[in-house]
Amino acid sequence: MSVRQTGRRRCQATAAGHPVVVLDRRGRPVLRARTAEASHTSLLCVTEARRALGMASEAVVEIGLPSDRSSGGRRRGRRTVRYLARIVEAQEIGQLIGLSIDLLQKLR
């Protein structure tokens, strides 16, 4: 399963399967997805949602990441990181939708 991508990447992307929630301007969840690839500046997500999304509109994206274990602890919790983002492209991949998302600004 792949999504056609154009242009050169600005930074290296890694494969990942982190949960993503896209929120509207009022903070309500619009869709849930999983990352297929992630970099410091963009995400490629896959979702089953068939809702209409405004391309090039800004939204808040919450990404669930593993908690930092560098402190020596064995905690296996998750932390949520929020970004102001823009949905750049949506493309059908069989029964799924692939979303290209640019991360504009880290919120927390």
- pLDDT tens track of the chain, all 108 residues? 455 555 555 555 566 789 999 998 788 898 999 999 988 899 999 999 777 666 667 899 999 988 766 555 555 688 899 999 999 988 888 889 999 999 999 997
> Distance between CA atoms of 77 and 85, rounded to whole angstroms?
25
pLDDT at residue 4, as a whole number: 52
- Three-state DSSP class for 86? strand
pLDDT at residue 49, as a whole number: 77
In the chain, the domains with their CATH numbers are 16-68+75-106 (2.40.10.220)
pLDDT at residue 56, as a whole number: 61
pLDDT at residue 6, as a whole number: 54
Phi and psi at 58, nearest 5°, equal -85, 145
- H/E stretch holding 82 reads strand 78-93
